[in-house]
C-alpha cells in the first residue's frame, strides 16, 4: 500500500475482498482485493456535516457502517442512508457510567443489523450483573430495543458474533457464553430476555509452534494463553493476540453441544439455525432412534415436525421462484433470487439414507411395532406439511412390516389408504405375493384406483395367466378395441389350455368383425402363427363359429 499517512483503523470486509482504511476523521479509503482484477482504490467521505468518524465496521461483504460523533451512516454499494439518532440506557451507578466505544459493536444477526451495547453494572440482590442490550436498526424507521442478554456476572468482557450466535468472552473466569436470539425466551412485553444457551465454557485449547532455530522449532508446540489481557477482538469473529502475534477466527463446534442440551426440541431449534448443521442433525436423529423407547415417540414426532417445517418452507420458496420465472415476473425491477438450500433443509432422501433405512436394518432390541410407528410418524409429519411422500418411504414401511410378519398392519395401512397409491408400490406388493398371497389382490385394487395404470394391470393379469380376467378388465375400461391381439394370444397359448386359447381367439375374431366387417386378422397384427395353431387344434370349420366371454 502507498504510504498516505498514519493508519487509524484498517479492516477487511466479510470474505476479505475489500480492505477499508481510515487515515483521517472524515474519509475511509477502500482497496479491492479480488483475484485476477487490479487493486482498485476509491474513497467514501462522511456525509454528515461537521461529523468525525469515530469508527467503522463491515456488516456484510459490501455493506459498511460509519459510526460518527453525530450518528450512524450506512453505506451499501455506493448508496448511503443516515440512521436516525437514538439513545442508550446508561447504568444507574455513576461509577459504571463511563461509556467506552469498545462496549458498543454493530453486527448483522439473522440478516438484521443490530447495535450491541455491553452494559456494565454491579451485582446486587435485584440486579444479576452486566448485560448486553441489542438495538435493532432497520434500514428505515426508528431504532428499537429488542433483546437483553443476561450475563449474570461482572468484569471485563469482549463480544464476537459467530454463525448468528452472540459470543460473550469473560476474562476473569476464562470462559465464553453463547446466546441465540432465535431460541424461545422470556418476553416482558417490551423486550425479549435471553439466558445463555449452555453453561459458560472455555475456548478449545490452542497450541502454537515455537519460534527460533530448527533445534527449537522441532520441540513440541506450546499452549497459547487464552483470554489474555493482550487480546483484541474484532467483528464478527476475529481474535488477535498482540503479544504473541497471532490472529484467529472463532468457530462453533456443534457436535459436542448435542450432549449438552438435554431438551431435544430446543437442541433441534438451535441446530437448525446453524450453518454446518446437516450431518449433526442427522446424527441426533440416529441417536434418538438407536436409544429410543416407546415413550420417546412424542419427542421424535416433535423433531420430525421441526425438520419438515423447514423442508416445507424451502419447497414453497423454490416453487414460488419457479412460478415467478415462468410467468416472467422475475424480469421486473425487483429480481427474485433463487432460494438457497441451507444445510438445515433435511429432505426425504437425507432421512431415508442416513436415518430411517439404517434404523430399520439394525438388529436392535426394539418392539417391531415401535419401529413401524417411527416410520409412520415421519410419513404423518410429511403429510401434515402437505409434502408429497416419496414411494421409497412407503416401500421401507412395507418391507419392515413383511420382515416382521406384521401382515395385519400392512393390510390395514393399505385398506385405509395410510400408504398412498402408486405404481411402484403396487409392483412391490406383487413381488410379495409368495410371502403374503393377499398382496396380489391388494396390488390390483391399488392399480385400479390409480386409473392411469391400466397397462400395468393387464401385464399383471397376463403374467398370472389370467387371460380372461385381463380381457374382462380391458373391456370394462373401454380399451378392448386398442389392445394387441398377439399379446393375449401369446399368453393364452403359453398356458397350454386349449379351451382358453379357443375363447381368446374368438374374442378377437369378433372384435375384427365389429371393427372391420371381417373376422380375419390383418398382416400388421402378426397373428398368422396363432391362426395356424387354431386350425390345427379345432379345424378350419371352427373359424366360422362364435363364443361368448
Cα–Cα distance measured from residue 67 to residue 49, given in angstroms and rounded to the nearest whole number: 14
User: What's the confidence (pLDDT) of residue 99?
Assistant: 56
In this predicted model, which residue has the larger pLDDT, 58 or 94? Answer: 58
Residue 349 has pLDDT above 70, yes or no: yes
User: What's the confidence (pLDDT) of residue 203?
Assistant: 93
For the ranges 31-40, 58-67, 309-318, 414-423, the one whose mean pLDDT is highest: 309-318
Cα–Cα distance measured from residue 504 to residue 467, given in angstroms and rounded to the nearest whole number: 8
User: What's the confidence (pLDDT) of residue 90?
Assistant: 66
In this predicted model, which residue has the larger pLDDT, 334 or 320? Answer: 320
Q: Which of 211-220, 296-305, 364-373, 431-440 has the lowest mean pLDDT?
A: 211-220
In this predicted model, which residue has the larger pLDDT, 29 or 448? Answer: 29
Q: Taking residues 4-30, what's their average pLDDT? A: 90
Q: Which of 213-222, 341-350, 529-538 has the lowest mean pLDDT?
A: 213-222
Task: Give pTM, 2 decimals.
Answer: 0.75
Segment 338-347, tens digit of pLDDT: 888 999 999 9
Cα–Cα distance measured from residue 226 to residue 28, given in angstroms and rounded to the nearest whole number: 33
User: What's the confidence (pLDDT) of residue 86?
Assistant: 65
Q: Taking residues 477-489, what's their average pLDDT? A: 83
Q: What are phi and psi of 526, to 5 degrees?
A: 55, 50
Residue 8 has pLDDT above 50, yes or no: yes
pLDDT band of residue 333 (cuts 50, 70, 90) is: very low
Task: Work out the percent of the chain whose per-residue pLDDT is above 90.
Answer: 30
In this predicted model, which residue has the larger pLDDT, 322 or 169? Answer: 169
Q: Taking residues 133-151, what's their average pLDDT? A: 88
User: What's the confidence (pLDDT) of residue 204?
Assistant: 92
pLDDT band of residue 57 (cuts 50, 70, 90) is: confident
Q: Are 130 and 118 in contact (CB under 8 A)?
A: yes
In this predicted model, which residue has the larger pLDDT, 525 or 195? Answer: 195
Angle of helix 485-494 relative to helix 454-463, nearest 10 degrees, comes to 20
Q: Which of 246-250, 357-361, 439-443, 491-495 has the lowest mean pLDDT?
A: 439-443
Q: Are 13 and 20 in contact (CB under 8 A)?
A: yes
Domain ranges of the chain: 9-83, 94-249, 257-367, 474-549
Q: Taking residues 524-542, what's their average pLDDT? A: 84
Segment 144-177, tens digit of pLDDT: 899 999 999 999 999 999 999 999 999 999 999 9
Q: Which residue has the cell 433435511?
A: 346
Return the bridge partners of 106, or none: 115
DSSP string, 349-391: HHHIIIIIHHHHHS--S--HHHHHHHHHHHHHHHHHTTPPPPH
Residue 356 has pLDDT above 50, yes or no: yes
Residues 6+ apart with CB under 8 A from 18: 12, 30, 31, 32, 33, 61, 62
User: What's the confidence (pLDDT) of residue 371?
Assistant: 86
Q: Which of 47-56, 117-126, 281-290, 369-378 has the lowest mean pLDDT?
A: 117-126
User: What's the confidence (pLDDT) of residue 131?
Assistant: 92
Residue 95 has pLDDT above 60, yes or no: no
pLDDT band of residue 241 (cuts 50, 70, 90) is: confident
Q: Which residue has the cell 423407547?
A: 293
* Nearest by Cα to 342 from 319, 379, 317: 317
Write the CA distances from 472 to 460, 463, 490, 526, integer angstroms: 14, 15, 17, 23
Helix, strand, coil tally for the chain in percent (to 5): 40, 20, 40
**Hey, what's the cell of 200?**
459458560
* Nearest by Cα to 10 from 247, 208, 252, 206: 247
User: What's the confidence (pLDDT) of residue 295?
Assistant: 53
User: What's the confidence (pLDDT) of residue 350?
Assistant: 95
Amino acid at each position: 500500500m502507498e504510504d498516505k499517512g498514519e493508519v487509524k483503523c484498517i479492516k477487511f470486509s466479510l470474505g476479505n475482498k475489500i480492505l477499508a482504511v481510515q487515515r483521517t476523521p472524515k474519509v475511509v479509503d477502500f482497496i479491492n482485493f479480488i483475484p485476477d482484477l487490479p487493486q482498485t482504490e476509491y474513497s467514501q467521505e462522511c456525509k454528515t456535516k461537521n461529523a468525525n468518524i469515530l469508527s467503522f465496521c463491515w456488516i456484510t461483504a459490501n455493506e459498511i457502517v460509519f459510526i460518527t460523533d453525530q450518528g450512524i451512516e450506512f453505506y451499501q454499494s455506493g448508496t448511503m442512508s443516515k440512521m436516525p439518532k437514538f439513545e442508550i440506557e446508561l447504568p444507574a451507578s455513576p461509577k459504571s457510567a463511563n461509556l467506552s466505544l469498545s462496549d458498543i459493536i454493530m453486527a448483522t444477526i439473522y440478516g438484521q443489523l443490530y447495535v450491541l451495547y455491553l452494559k456494565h453494572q454491579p451485582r446486587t440482590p435485584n440486579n444479576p450483573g452486566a448485560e448486553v442490550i441489542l438495538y435493532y436498526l432497520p434500514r428505515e424507521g426508528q431504532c428499537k430495543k429488542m433483546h437483553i442478554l443476561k450475563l449474570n456476572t461482572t468484569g471485563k468482557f469482549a463480544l464476537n458474533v459467530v454463525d448468528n450466535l452472540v459470543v460473550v468472552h469473560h476474562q476473569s473466569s476464562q470462559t465464553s457464553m453463547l446466546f441465540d436470539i432465535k431460541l424461545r425466551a422470556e418476553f416482558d412485553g417490551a423486550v425479549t430476555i435471553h439466558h445463555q444457551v449452555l453453561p459458560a465454557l472455555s475456548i478449545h485449547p490452542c497450541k502454537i509452534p515455537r519460534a527460533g532455530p530448527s533445534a527449537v522449532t522441532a520441540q513440541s508446540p506450546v499452549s497459547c494463553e487464552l483470554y489474555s489481557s493482550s487480546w483484541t477482538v474484532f467483528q464478527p469473529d476475529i481474535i488477535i493476540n498482540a503479544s504473541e502475534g497471532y490472529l484467529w477466527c472463532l468457530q462453533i463446534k456443534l457436535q459436542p453441544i448435542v450432549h449438552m442440551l438435554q431438551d431435544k426440541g430446543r437442541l433441534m431449534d438451535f441446530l437448525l439455525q446453524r450453518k454446518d448443521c446437516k450431518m449433526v442433525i442427522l446424527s441426533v436423529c440416529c441417536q434418538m432412534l438407536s436409544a429410543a423407547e416407546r415413550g420417546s415417540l412424542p419427542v421424535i414426532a416433535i423433531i420430525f415436525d421441526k425438520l419438515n417445517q423447514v423442508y416445507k418452507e424451502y419447497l414453497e420458496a423454490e416453487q414460488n421462484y419457479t412460478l415467478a420465472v415462468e410467468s416472467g415476473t422475475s424480469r421486473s425491477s425487483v429480481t427474485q433470487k433463487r432460494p438457497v438450500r441451507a444445510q438445515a433443509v433435511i429432505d426425504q432422501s437425507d432421512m431415508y439414507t442416513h436415518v430411517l433405512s439404517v434404523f430399520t436394518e439394525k438388529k436392535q432390541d426394539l418392539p417391531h411395532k415401535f419401529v413401524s410407528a417411527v416410520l409412520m410418524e415421519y410419513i404423518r409429519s410429511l403429510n401434515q406439511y402437505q409434502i408429497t411422500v416419496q414411494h421409497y418411504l412407503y416401500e421401507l414401511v412395507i418391507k419392515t412390516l413383511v420382515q416382521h410378519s406384521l401382515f395385519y398392519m400392512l393390510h390395514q395401512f393399505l385398506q385405509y389408504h395410510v400408504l398412498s397409491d402408486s405404481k411402484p408400490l403396487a409392483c412391490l406388493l406383487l413381488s410379495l405375493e409368495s410371502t403374503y398371497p393377499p398382496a396380489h389382490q391388494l396390488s390390483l385394487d391399488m392399480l385400479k384406483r390409480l386409473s392411469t395404470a391400466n397397462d400395468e394391470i393387464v401385464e399383471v393379469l397376463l403374467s398370472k395367466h389370467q387371460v380372461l380376467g385381463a380381457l374382462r378388465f380391458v373391456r370394462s375400461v373401454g380399451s378392448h378395441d386398442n389392445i394387441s391381439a398377439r399379446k393375449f394370444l401369446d399368453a393364452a397359448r403359453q398356458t397350454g389350455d386349449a379351451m382358453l386359447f379357443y375363447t381368446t381367439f374368438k374374442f378377437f375374431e369378433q372384435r375384427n368383425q365389429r371393427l372391420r366387417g371381417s373376422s380375419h386378422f390383418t398382416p400388421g397384427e402378426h397373428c398368422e402363427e396363432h391362426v395356424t395353431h387354431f386350425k390345427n387344434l379345432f379345424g378350419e370349420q371352427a373359424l366360422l363359429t362364435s363364443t361368448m366371454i
